[in-house]
Amino acid sequence: MSWFAKRTSVSNDELPIVLKSDRSECEFTISSIIESEIIPRLLKAERAKGPFLRLVPASRAMPCQLEIDTFIDLCVFNDPFAAQDFVNQLLKEGLNTEHIFLELITPAARKLGTQWELDHMGFVDVTRGVVRLHAIAHEIGFVYQDGPVIQGDVKRVMIASAPGSEHLLGPTIVAEFFRKEGWQVVIEISPSKKELVRAVSNEWFDTVGLSVSIAAQLTDLADLVDQIKKFSRNSRVAILLGGPIFTVEELQASDFGAGGVCTNAKDAVKLALSLQPTD
């Protein structure tokens, strides 16, 4: 199983040790990512067009608790378009994007965190909900902008799935290997190329790791790598590729303009370090 893989057709003997361990360890790791990183980053997001949010008068009331709860249910249990349609309807009724972010998405994110803490909702449902909130926040123009914009003493890595995948298990496992070696890790759950490029343009990263699950994601992979290099705050960012597709097809990093391909989570940090500039 590849270093970013969530689920593949390989046998259990090929699963990494971390996945063969107690399932509660994986759940705890994912929940810690949700609680300590993803939800706080979502809550700290700002309007992409400027640092200040202005709540101008709306022609309809702010979302009530029932509407917030309904929105959470749509994010967690329905198809991904249902939650966006809910937001679009509120916008048509007179709310603006600042209202949506501050009065709907933000309290929804807080409640998801509370639901997890109280054990009222499982990590899979919380993950699905947060992914949806994250995507909607991006859709209406909000991004996280508090990360460092220049190189620091501690190396930073962004781990993300290629557009077309929304999962946390594989990236979370890889993240733990980097964290144990002292790296700062950001797991980016942006579902589009535009959002991934925006993420690397907002913060400094020494390395970007991309998980590729299926052959269809290979079509635009070279362009995605090129865009990340072009817009990254780090002009010499190292890009690693991983994922199930690299275990079933003979593909080279150079085919996509990346620095390397890694099919074992334990080797990811070593490979990332080998690709860092020496001067």
- 54 & 72 share domain: yes
Domain that holds residue 102: 45-144
- Single out the residue in 104, 127, 144 at which a domain terminates: 144
pLDDT at position 18 is 35
| CATH number, position 184 | 3.40.50.280
Residue 103 burial (CB count, 10 A): 20
Q: How much is the pTM?
A: 0.70
- Single out the residue in 144, 166, 193 at which a domain terminates: 144
| CATH number, position 96 | 1.10.1240.10
Residue 11 lies in a domain: no
Domain count, the chain: 2
- 246 & 210 share domain: yes
Closest CA to 44 of 156, 171, 144, 170: 144
Residue indicated by tokens 């052959």 = 215
- Single out the residue in 144, 177, 212 at which a domain terminates: 144
- 74 & 163 share domain: no
Residue 132 lies in a domain: yes
Q: What is the pLDDT along the chain (279 residues), one digit of tens a residue?
A: 344 433 322 223 333 333 334 445 555 566 666 766 777 777 777 776 555 555 556 678 899 999 999 999 999 986 778 999 999 999 999 998 889 988 999 899 889 888 887 888 887 788 888 888 888 888 887 777 778 888 989 999 999 888 876 666 677 778 888 988 999 998 887 668 888 898 899 899 999 999 888 889 899 999 999 999 999 999 999 999 998 888 888 899 999 999 999 988 889 999 999 999 887
- 199 & 242 share domain: yes
